[in-house]
Structure 1
Amino acid sequence: MTIQKKSLISKLNTTKKAIVASSTPAENPSVGSAVKTQVRGHVKTQVRGHVRSQVKSQVRGHVRSQVKSQVKGQL
């Protein structure tokens, strides 16, 4: 490496360290408890509905196949 490149790299590293040292750490955004409760309730409702529909369709399919096999066995 030439002396010029080394000098540039050294300056970049120094600048980077200075920027990192002077920057303030990001704070986690806080959300009010009323908003948390509202979002939590909405998510619970969505998940409950999704799970309910999935289970319902799976049970319905299983029951139908069992009934069909029972009926075929009786014929």
Structure 2
Amino acid sequence: KSLVNPRQIDVVHKIFTPTQKEIIFAEKVVKEIDEKKTLGIGVFTVDGKMIDIAFYDGAKRTIALAKASGVYEGDL
């Protein structure tokens, strides 16, 4: 991503920083996938949403972005 004016930095950070709700959901997804993989379960639900392994990378990216943004206090 890029921007033209330094005054846009704060706005861009706000837009791309994951919300607390997104972070909590990503944590749940990562933990559930790690657990379900050991049990041989491929599809399950988290907060009423169907989840499979395809969600794993996105959830890990959300957590990594939250860490880079300084808003993640978890242990994943």
With a CA cutoff of 8 Å and minimum separation of 6, indicate the structure with the bigger relative contact order.
2
Q: TM-score, normalization: structure 1?
A: 0.30
Q: If each structure's strand is expressed as a fraction of its own residues, which one has the higher value?
A: 2
Q: Which structure has the larger Rg?
A: 1
Q: If each structure's helix is expressed as a fraction of its own residues, which one has the higher value?
A: 1
Q: TM-score, normalization: structure 2?
A: 0.29
